[in-house]
């Protein structure tokens, strides 16, 4: 006589096997170097990195010196990797060399010295735009319009002296730029300390040799003595 089949308890049904989930693709961790390569910068961010005016960055891009891309909205962007390569291409063998500034504003009421300095810069830094202001008011107007990378500043000027102009520039642009180099015929310790305190980056005598003066401004030049 056959054995009776065992019955499953009512209400318990066999559950279908759970489908296997597709294996997840494991992405390699994003390294810092890769993150830098994938980073895109605005013209202002590039200018801040290179300590130049934004218009200078746009000029380099328009001339094809600094690669850039244009977004669908018509905005120019720069890959961080391209910016780093640009800096490396323009680095000089000398330690501490900076990218030469492209816009210089000379503020000096001594017209003869201003002409001498402008000629010196133009001769040894081809392509640099140099403008001159002979008083504090003109200095403020030209600084707003050209946004210089470097400012040379005479300390002794009528109406608004170099100390007041220096403080004005720092209030306009902040502490980062432009680089302010005070030039004076009275380089006393008190004057040097005072002008550095109000925001100048350096203070030199007007009798400083041309090669040393150009180097302080950020240019590299070989000048015969």
Give the three-state DSSP class for 183: strand
Q: pLDDT tens digit string along 96-129?
A: 555 556 899 999 999 999 999 999 998 888 788 9
Count of positions (residues) in the chain: 225
Interatomic CA distance for residues 21 and 197, integer angstroms: 67
Give the three-state DSSP class for 2: coil
- 94 pLDDT band, cuts 50/70/90, is very low
- 2 pLDDT band, cuts 50/70/90, is low
Domains by residue range for the chain, with CATH: 33-90 (1.10.1660.10), 103-217 (3.40.50.2300)
Q: pLDDT tens digit string along 6-64?
A: 555 555 555 566 666 555 555 555 555 455 456 899 988 988 877 677 777 887 887 77
CA distances from 62 to 67, 68, 132, 188 (A): 9, 9, 26, 45
The DSSP 8-state label assigned to residue 56 in this structure reads: H
């Amino acid at each position: 006589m056959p054995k009776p089949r065992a019955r499953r308890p009512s209400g318990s049904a066999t559950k279908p096997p759970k489908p296997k989930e597709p294996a997840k693709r494991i992405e390699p961790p994003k390294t810092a170097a890769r993150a830098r390569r994938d980073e895109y910068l605005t013209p202002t961010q590039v200018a801040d990195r290179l300590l130049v005016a934004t218009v200078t960055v746009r000029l380099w891009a328009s001339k094809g010196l600094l690669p850039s891309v244009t977004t669908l909205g018509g905005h120019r962007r720069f890959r961080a990797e391209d910016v780093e390569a640009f800096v490396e291409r323009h680095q000089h063998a000398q330690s501490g060399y900076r990218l030469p500034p492209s816009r210089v504003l000379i503020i000096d009421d001594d017209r003869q010295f201003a002409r001498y300095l402008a000629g010196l810069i133009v001769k040894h830094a081809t392509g640099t735009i140099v403008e001159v202001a002979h008083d504090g008011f003109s200095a403020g107007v030209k600084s707003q319009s050209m946004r210089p990378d470097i400012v040379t500043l005479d300390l002794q000027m009528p109406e608004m002296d170099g100390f007041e102009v220096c403080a004005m520039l720092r209030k306009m642009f902040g502490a980062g730029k432009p680089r302010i180099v005070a030039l004076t015929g009275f380089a006393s310790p008190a004057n040097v300390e005072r002008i550095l305190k109000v925001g100048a980056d350096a203070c030199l005598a007007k009798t400083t040799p041309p090669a040393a003066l150009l180097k302080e401004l950020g240019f590299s030049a070989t000048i015969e003595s």
